[in-house]
Amino acid sequence: MSSLSFIDVSVSYGRSVAVTSFNDTVHPGEWLCLIGPNGAGKSSLLRSAAGLVTYSGSVLVDGSPLNLRSARRRAALVAHVPQSPAMPDDMTAFEYVLLGRNPYVGYFGQETKQDRMMVQRVIERLDLQPFATRPLGTLSGGERQRLVIARALAQEAPIMLLDEPTAALDIGHQQQALELVDSLRREHGFTVVSAMHDLTLAGLYSDRLALLHQGHCVASGPAQEVLKAETLSEFYGVSVSVHHEEDGTVVVVPRRTVPLA
């Protein structure tokens, strides 16, 4: 169990600023979901914690700065699942999940038997045995998404960053993938930070939401507080109605701006 803190994190690409002094602490085992319109800085923020962009400020894991760690040590702490992962068509599923062991293998080393057994367990845990020897090019979107999560799991990092984990999935597989992440989180005590577009799902699975707009964090808190029709209309420029179910679920439904005839 590890905590992840962002202290005054700013990310910019050349002159365009993606994130402006973001501050937040994600507690051990907590699921923070970043929401906000396209280009709000959600991915950049995740990429800063994954060490993929240069940033100012600091990202701390359990209080110690990530950028002082070696690349392999960082990868053993933080697993990043990108929005559209590169999945070579001719790589087998097992080989793909095995890549998650890279942080534990020396520069010139090879994976040990323990690494392979660990990968085998991960594959079994996610019910991926039938695909283990299949090339990635033959797998469906849902199976691929589970494999990417399997790779992150093989990385054994206490912090998992998910960038749009459900973007390419149908509603059933969206639920499946998020349930999987949530059950793994409860099993292993992962700290999860995800960026998501589906506000209802975001509210349903995460403990807390942070709404980003043009690089600034404009609202943060539980779904009931953040998902308000006025807030969403202000920052997304969208017309929605927000319903509160009896079990506390917040449902965000888009409305037609032109009244239906």
Partner 1 sequence: MIPNKELQLPRSWWTPVACIVVGCAFLFGAMIGPAGPVWWRVPGELLDHLPWISVHSGASNLESTVLWQIRMPRVVLAGIVGAMLSLAGASFQGVFRNPLVDPYLLGVAGGAGLGATVVIVTGRAASSSWPIDPLPLAAFVGGLLAVLVTYTVGSAFGSSKTSSATLVLAGVAVTSLATALQTFMLQRNTDVVRQVYSWILGRLSTATWGDVRLVLPYVIISSGVLLWHRRLLDVLRVGDDEAQSLGARVTRIRLTVVIAATLGTAAVVSVSGLIGFVGIVVPHVVRLLAGSSYRRILPLTVLFGAAFLIIADIPGRILSDPAETPIGVVTAFLGAPFFIVVLRSRQGTSR
Residues in touch with partner 1 (CB under 8 A): 50-52, 70-76, 78-80, 82, 85-92, 95-96, 99-100, 102-103, 105, 107-111, 135, 137-138, 155
DSSP string, 38-97: TTSSHHHHHHHHTT-S-EEEEEEETTEEGGGS-HHHHHHHEEEE-SS----TTSBHHHHH
C-beta closer to partner 1: residue 21 or 92: 92
C-beta closer to partner 1: residue 51 or 203: 51
Kindly report each contact of residues 61-67 with a partner whose C-beta sits within 8 Å and lies 24 or more positions away, as own/partner: 61/2, 61/3, 61/4, 61/5, 61/159, 62/2, 62/3, 63/3, 63/5
C-beta closer to partner 1: residue 63 or 109: 109
**Number of C-beta neighbours around residue 123 at 10 A:** 23
Residue of 148, 113, 158 whose CA lies nearest to 128: 148
C-beta closer to partner 1: residue 77 or 201: 77
Instruction: For residue 18, report the phi and psi dihedrals to the nearest 5 degrees.
Output: -95, -40
Q: How far is the CB of 60 from partner 1 (least distance, A)?
A: 18
Cβ proximity of 161 and 194 under 8 Å? yes
C-beta closer to partner 1: residue 163 or 252: 163
Write the DSSP symbol of residue 120: H
Q: How far is the CB of 119 from partner 1 (least distance, A)?
A: 13
Q: How many Cα atoms sit within 13 Å of 231 on the Cβ side?
A: 21
Angstrom distance (rounded) from CA 30 to CA 202: 13
Residue of 77, 59, 103, 75 whose CA lies nearest to 2: 77
Q: How far is the CB of 171 from partner 1 (least distance, A)?
A: 25
Q: How far is the CB of 73 from partner 1 (least distance, A)?
A: 8
- Residue written as token pair 């589970």: 146
C-beta closer to partner 1: residue 69 or 216: 69
Q: How far is the CB of 148 from partner 1 (least distance, A)?
A: 10
C-beta closer to partner 1: residue 49 or 217: 49
Q: How far is the CB of 256 from partner 1 (least distance, A)?
A: 39
Q: How far is the CB of 68 from partner 1 (least distance, A)?
A: 15
